[in-house]
Amino acid sequence: MVIFLQNLVNALQWGSFYALIALGYSMVYSILMLFNFAHGDIFMVGAYIGFGVSIGLLALSSSGALAMPNWLILVLTILFSMFLTSFVGMIVERVGYRPLRNAPRASAAITGLMIGIILETGNLILMGARRVSFPSLIQTTTYTVGGVFVTNKKIMIVLVSLLLTLALHQFIRRTKWGMAMRAMAFDFAVVPLMGVPVNTVIALTFAIGSALAAAAGILFGIAYPVLDPYMGILFGWKAFVAAILGGRGSILGATLAGFLLGFTEIFVAMIFPSTLRDLIAYSIILLILTFRPHGFFGEPYSARLRL
């Protein structure tokens, strides 16, 4: 039982990363019917931006110019990096996807792959071929609850990701921008007739998705403080799986599927040798998808794509 609970705690943290990245995939996919394959690399870029921002803030703080407690540096790093990374997402959309808005979907998909490669190699050139280690902004405190080890970092990571997911959910349900996104997911072609500037809504969608990926990148850096330019690839693929498994355009679905992936991986690794983890975990996910090919909570949408 203690082992089970211990793994549950680990799975919650692991699933948080997938869930946060999956949201960005899911939003873009539901609105544009587009697989934004560069999104995993946005997660990587976000982690690096977080690295840069935190190093900068730490230097500023220790130089005495603006002394800040570390928790404040962490909060500022998350917020500022989300802000900066949202621009990376908007640039990717503007430069990579918008010119191909009416091109065949396959062209848009390979655009994502190419942008991914550009971001990876661009980073390699910028930062050199070394791994960087994310600064430890908070001291790890370990609590023991009934034999289960829980660290303050794990609690923080799970809480922050749930908080961001909840905020996104409220944004999409309650604001006019969120309403426009839901309308575009249903029937893109008629949305301009409502006086809605669709390009602005699309840019905002990329901005939010990228900001969430950046948050995931920083949280990841706090839990596993080694960053490398290719860290986003496998993570991106898996989060993509979560987005589709969650159902088209469903925030709840993408979140649950992200956690499901985390749980499956961690619990498979609990029972089997860890080299078999992904083999068995993704066979299970494949089986689930076979029985629910539309995912968990797919939103309905109009089949009429043209007006």
The binding site for other proteins (CB under 8 A) comprises 176, 179-180, 182-183, 185-187, 189-190, 192-198, 299-302, 304, 307
Choose between 56 and 197: whose C-beta lies nearer to other proteins.
197
SS3 content of the chain, % helix, strand, coil (to 5): 75, 5, 20
Closest distance to other proteins from the beta carbon of 198 (Å): 7
20, 47, 251 from 27: Cα distances, Å:
11, 21, 8
Closest distance to other proteins from the beta carbon of 252 (Å): 14
Angle separating helix axes 277-291 and 231-246, nearest 10 degrees: 20
Choose between 56 and 192: whose C-beta lies nearer to other proteins.
192
Closest distance to other proteins from the beta carbon of 187 (Å): 6
Buried b or exposed e, range 237-270, using 16+ CB within 10 angstroms: ebbbbbbbbbbbbbbebbbbbbbbbbbbbbbbbb
Closest distance to other proteins from the beta carbon of 288 (Å): 25
The answer to whether the beta carbons of residues 178 and 244 sit under 8 Å apart is no
Rounded Cα distance, 2 and 22, in Å: 30
Choose between 155 and 179: whose C-beta lies nearer to other proteins.
179
Closest distance to other proteins from the beta carbon of 199 (Å): 9
Choose between 26 and 77: whose C-beta lies nearer to other proteins.
26
Choose between 178 and 236: whose C-beta lies nearer to other proteins.
178
Choose between 72 and 194: whose C-beta lies nearer to other proteins.
194
DSSP 119-172: HHHHHHHHH-SS-EE----S---EEEETTEEEEHHHHHHHHHHHHHHHHHHHHH
Closest distance to other proteins from the beta carbon of 301 (Å): 8
